[in-house]
């Protein structure tokens, strides 16, 4: 899907640099060529030799090396690429780029380029949330720089939160959707002209203005599906509950809190061909959310919370009569009797397909990077191998294209 594309990959100094090796592999598998620029700090984490072996090209790091300048100047390096990717993008390189510094080869290339740039930040959570970094990211976004991630998760420094670099598959999907609009040939956009709505993430149901009911959904799977559908040319609206991950590029994202808001946003999308409900919608909400903070009073017993059912978004979309999308896909999060419960859920909700995933804590689906799913349709149950969430998304998007009689090349080859 990236055949003939030239990616200039800038590897800065962070523990996530090891994932860049995997990124090179994934990009080359898809037919892209990769040329690497390694910063001095990056070289503390990965060697030029490993980047060179995987990219099968020389690695550039020294701005003042006469050989580099005579063979390939910094201007030429960026001119020769279709896209620049900075992975990992450290707080330092973000700051240098925001300030317009040109104090090493990586910064100079970034300053000199006229090509699209994708940043995959990776840093300690406190560095990511520091007002200086927040302001730098904002500046860069305003200048049209694209961002993917960072993801939430446990970090090498024993802290938890946003700061982990996106997985190589997620970065590849973002690259594909950045290079897609202008340059993907029509055949590679089998979902062009189709409109899709994807729900993702948890919902938050207010108990009072400061407290809410929610769940552990990270939104990674739903966001990846939105990206994958967009990469295949669909016009995608992503309706996302509160998540810590970035809006996918190339997708119209609507942010909501509650299930009621999520349903309203889905219905507001108008006529759609494809609905994928990947959100972990809270089943219940407070029957009467308090208008002001519920206060403790001395001697008062804990208040009891009366719950009422939320609207079922998947069932509502599946049973919409003439307005029903041609294909409705639900998810089934199960901890036991996965297939039997999911087969039953498909019937009950009236959707066409169910992607059933095991969310037992031991499997680590919630918040994790991989997913083991079964695809359940009228024609039976298909077991998929354990895949990265990005790959589950791409496979599902490919199957959706096939359903509309427009196979991707990968699907056609199967
Ligand atoms: N779903 C929805 N609206 C709801 C509840 C669920 O759209 N109010 C969708 C989810 O997005 C998912 C599917 O329904 O696609 C199944 O969600 P799941 O939580 O597994 O099922 P439940 O309906 O909650 O059923 P149960 O609690 O019996 O497992």
Domains of the chain: 6-179 (3.40.50.1950), 195-289+306-413 (3.40.50.10300)
Taking the chain (414 residues) in consecutive chunks of 10 residues, what is each chunk's mean pLDDT? 93 96 96 97 97 96 64 77 97 98 95 94 95 96 92 77 92 89 61 97 98 94 96 97 94 97 97 97 97 90 95 97 95 91 96 91 66 90 89 94 77 54
* Res 313: pLDDT: 98
Rounded Cα distance, 35 and 58, in Å = 7
- Using a 6 Å cutoff on CB, does residue 259 contact ligand 1? yes
Beta bridge partners of 276: 198, 329
pTM over cut 0.75: no
pLDDT at 160: 80
Please indicate whether residue 241, judged by its CB atom, sits closer than 6 Å to ligand 1.
no
For ligand 1, what atom is nearest to the CA of residue 349?
A: 14
**Beta-bridge partners for 329:** 276, 353
Mapped onto helix, strand or coil, the DSSP state of residue 301 is coil
Residues recognised as catalytic? 157
Ligand 1 center to 285 CA (angstroms):
14
Whether the CB of 260 sits within 6 Å of ligand 1: no
CA distance 36 to 334: 43
CB proximity list for 414: less than 8 A, separation 6 or greater: none
């Amino acid at each position: 899907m990236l055949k003939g594309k030239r990616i200039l990959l800038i590897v800065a100094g962070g523990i996530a640099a090891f994932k860049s090796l995997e990124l090179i592999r994934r990009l080359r598998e898809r037919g892209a060529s990769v040329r690497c620029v390694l910063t001095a700090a990056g070289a503390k984490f990965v060697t030029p030799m490993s980047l060179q072996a995987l990219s099968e090209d020389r690695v550039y790091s020294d701005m003042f090396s006469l050989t580099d300048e005579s063979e390939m100047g910094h201007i030429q390096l960026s001119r020769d690429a279709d896209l620049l990717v900075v992975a990992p993008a450290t707080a330092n390189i973000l700051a240098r780029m925001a300030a317009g510094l040109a104090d090493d080869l990586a910064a100079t290339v970034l300053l000199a380029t006229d090509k699209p740039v994708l940043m995959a930040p990776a840093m300690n959570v406190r560095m990511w949330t520091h007002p200086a970094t927040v302001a730098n990211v904002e500046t860069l976004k305003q200048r049209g720089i694209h961002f993917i991630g960072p993801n939430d998760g446990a970090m090498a420094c024993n802290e938890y939160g946003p700061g982990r670099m996106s997985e190589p598959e997620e970065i590849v999907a973002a690259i594909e959707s950045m290079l897609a609009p202008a340059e993907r040939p029509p055949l590679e956009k089998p979902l062009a002209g189709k409109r899709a709505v994807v729900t993702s993430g948890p919902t938050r149901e207010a108990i009072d203005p400061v407290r809410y009911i929610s769940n552990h959904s990270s939104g990674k799977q739903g966001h990846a599906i939105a990206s994958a559908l967009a990469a295949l040319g669909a016009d995608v609206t992503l309706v996302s509950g509160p998540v810590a991950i970035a809006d996918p590029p190339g997708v119209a994202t609507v942010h909501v809190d509650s299930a009621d808001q999520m349903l309203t946003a889905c219905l507001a999308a108008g006529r759609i061909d494809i609905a994928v409900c990947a959100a972990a919608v809270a089943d219940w909400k407070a029957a009467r959310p308090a208008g002001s903070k519920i206060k403790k009073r001395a001697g008062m017993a804990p208040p009891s919370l009366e719950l009422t059912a939320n609207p079922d978004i998947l069932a509502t979309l599946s049973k919409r009569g003439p307005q029903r999308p041609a294909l409705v896909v639900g998810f089934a999060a199960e901890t036991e009797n996965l297939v039997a419960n999911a087969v039953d859920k498909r019937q009950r909700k009236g959707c066409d397909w169910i992607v059933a995933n095991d969310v037992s804590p031991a499997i680590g689906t919630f918040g994790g990077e991989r997913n083991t799913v079964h695809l359940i349709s009228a024609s039976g149950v298909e077991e998929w191998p354990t895949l990265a969430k990005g790959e589950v998304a791409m496979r599902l998007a490919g199957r959706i294209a096939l359903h509309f009689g427009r196979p991707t090349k990968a699907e056609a080859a199967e």
